[in-house]
């Protein structure tokens, strides 16, 4: 089948892909439960109906993963990987339509996960259906739908990579923002984390005689600004990504409106980002707390050394000089090698994979895609670093929609997703 035939088949599937995206959104797979069992059943039925071979792999009963397999003529194997779990909905009052309504209105599919990333999953399902109708396809293609991406892939891509169920020559990560028709882009990789938990210990006392205690909350508050200083630590980064970091900065700058936001975006890829996102401490108004803790989301550009940043964080905590406050070491996984000590993951901008994916997107959008780095993490960390499969990201998500209330995806982007996901295996 020619690429133009694939593109016209994709256009014809506009209603089908919207209905599937909506159907997936309606099935609650939000964390903390992150149950993918209903979504997997939905996909299984679709594959059964369309005569597509599939397998289900589950580490946890409620969090299965499913793969649709299309056998090709050559020995090359292309993987497509996307996740079915979604982040919590947050305050329901902030949503115009119920987050699990999956409403299709104004050329958009609405609801939690539409953009991140049940929309891409729907596009991949239809791509599998279109490819399955071919008499023959050049390469074997596996479409993987995983669990647990939003919490590190423990029952999903990480486990599938560790157990070598995920294997192949190249992998397209369907997560992230591919820029639609207007501003097409390929993700060369994504940032990684150096998440840090700070623990403060003090001495309890009656709230009426606070001078007899040692308030853990107050101690914690004194050290938090020191953790924020890691945001001024200049990262040592791979030279081959220099241009990509510049393009990525431009990409994220488009979202920044205030001078403070613009200043932050200028640093976004060259320094760590820090966000203190959880604080816990205290039991009762009249009790001086002897324990408090703070959780920081700290993100580093790919290639930065995590151990180096951790050492600097330790130094900053020491510099604060507050006894009884320390970094929680129990949560830190010691990297087994230098590859695992490198934050996130990235691929070379010069590969045949890159060239062919770029060509597919160019044919579909009439524009040459740029390369960028995602600020959020994806399953690509597992497929690239653990399974060792070159992994490039191309998603249908929209800028600023993931993890937000009133999340939506445009039907236009869904159709573009089908074109790229079904077109690439023909070109590669």
Q: How many helices (H) and strands (E) does the chain have?
A: 13, 19
Q: What is the DSSP pairing of strand 104-105 with strand 108-110?
A: antiparallel
Task: Evaluate the omega torsion of the peptide bond into residue 367 and state whether it is cis, within 30 degrees of 0.
Answer: no
Q: Is 175 in the site for Zn ion (CB under 5 A)?
A: yes
Q: What is the per-residue binding string for Zn ion in 291-310, x denoting contact by CB under 5 A?
A: --------------------
Tell me whether residue 230 or residue 373 sits nearer to Zn ion (CB atom).
Answer: 373
Which residue stretch of 66-74, 117-125, 265-273, 329-337 sits at the interface with Zn ion (rule: CB under 5 A)? Answer: 117-125
Residue 9 vs 85, nearer CB to Zn ion: 85
Q: Work out which of 117, 124, 327, 387 binds Zn ion, going by CB under 5 A.
A: 117
Q: Which is nearer to Zn ion, 122 or 220 (CB)?
A: 122
Kindly calculate the radius of gyration of the chain based on its CA atoms and give it in whole angstroms.
23
On whether the CB atoms of residues 143 and 372 are closer than 8 A, the answer is no
Give me the least distance between CB of 187 and Zn ion, in Å please. 11
What is the smallest separation between the CB atom of 67 and Zn ion, expressed in angstroms?
18
DSSP characters over 89-110: ---GGG-SS-TT---EETTEEE
Secondary element (H or E) of residue 227: helix 216-228
Stretch that binds Zn ion, among 115-123, 180-188, 287-295, 336-344 (CB under 5 A): 115-123
Residue 294 sits at φ, ψ, to 5 deg, of -135, 135
CB-CB contact of 396 with 46 (8 Å)? no
Among 9, 85, 116, 347, binds Zn ion (CB under 5 A): 116
In whole angstroms, how close is the CB of 57 to Zn ion at the nearest point? Answer: 20
Distance, in Å, from the CA atom of 140 to the CA atom of 388, rounded to the nearest integer, reads 18
Contact string (CB under 5 A) for Zn ion, positions 8-47, x = contact: ----------------------------------------
- Rounded Cα–Cα distance for residues 122 and 174 (Å): 11
Residue 397: CB minimum distance to Zn ion, A: 7
Comparison of 217 and 373: residue with beta carbon closer to Zn ion: 373
Residues that bind Zn ion (CB under 5 A): 116-117, 175
């Amino acid at each position: 089948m020619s690429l133009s035939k694939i593109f016209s088949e994709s256009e014809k599937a506009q209603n089908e892909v919207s209905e599937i995206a909506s159907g997936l959104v309606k099935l609650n797979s939000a964390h903390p439960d992150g149950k993918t069992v209903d979504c997997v059943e939905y996909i299984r039925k679709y594959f059964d109906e369309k005569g597509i071979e599939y397998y289900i792999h589950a580490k946890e009963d409620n969090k299965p993963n499913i793969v649709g397999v299309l056998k090709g003529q050559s020995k090359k194997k292309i993987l497509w990987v996307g996740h079915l779990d979604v982040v919590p909905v947050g305050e329901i009052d902030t949503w115009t339509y119920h987050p699990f309504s999956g409403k299709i209105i104004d050329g958009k599919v609405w609801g939690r996960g539409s953009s991140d990333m049940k929309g891409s999953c729907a596009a991949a399902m239809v791509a599998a259906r279109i490819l399955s109708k071919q008499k023959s396809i050049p390469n074997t293609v596996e479409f993987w739908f995983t669990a647990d991406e939003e919490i590190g892939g423990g029952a999903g891509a990480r486990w599938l990579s560790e157990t070598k169920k995920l294997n192949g020559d190249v992998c397209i990560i369907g997560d992230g923002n591919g820029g639609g028709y207007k501003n097409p882009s390929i993700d060369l990789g994504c940032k990684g984390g150096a998440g840090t938990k700070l623990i403060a210990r003090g001495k309890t006392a009656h709230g009426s005689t606070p001078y007899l205690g040692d308030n853990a909350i107050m101690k914690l508050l004194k050290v938090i600004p020191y953790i924020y200083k890691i945001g001024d630590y200049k990262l040592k980064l791979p030279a081959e990504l220099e241009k990509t970091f510049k393009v990525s900065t431009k990409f994220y700058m488009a979202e920044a409106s205030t001078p403070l936001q613009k200043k932050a975006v200028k640093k976004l890829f060259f320094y760590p980002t820090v966000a203190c996102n959880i604080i816990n401490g205290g039991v009762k108004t009249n009790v001086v707390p002897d324990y408090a803790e703070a959780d920081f989301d700290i993100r580093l550009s790919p290639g930065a050394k995590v151990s180096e940043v951790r050492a600097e964080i330790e130094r900053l905590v020491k510099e604060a000089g507050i006894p009884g406050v320390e970094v929680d070491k129990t949560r830190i996984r010691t990297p087994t090698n230098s590859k695992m000590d490198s934050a996130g993951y990235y691929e070379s901008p010069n590969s045949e994979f890159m060239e062919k994916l770029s060509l597919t997107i160019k044919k579909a959008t009439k524009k040459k895609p740029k390369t960028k780095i995602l600020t959020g993490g994806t399953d690509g960390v597992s497929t690239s670093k653990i399974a060792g499969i070159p992994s490039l990201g191309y998603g249908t998500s929209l800028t600023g929609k993931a993890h937000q209330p009133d999340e939506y995806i445009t039907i236009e982007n869904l159709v573009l997703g089908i074109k790229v996901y079904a077109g690439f295996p023909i070109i590669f």
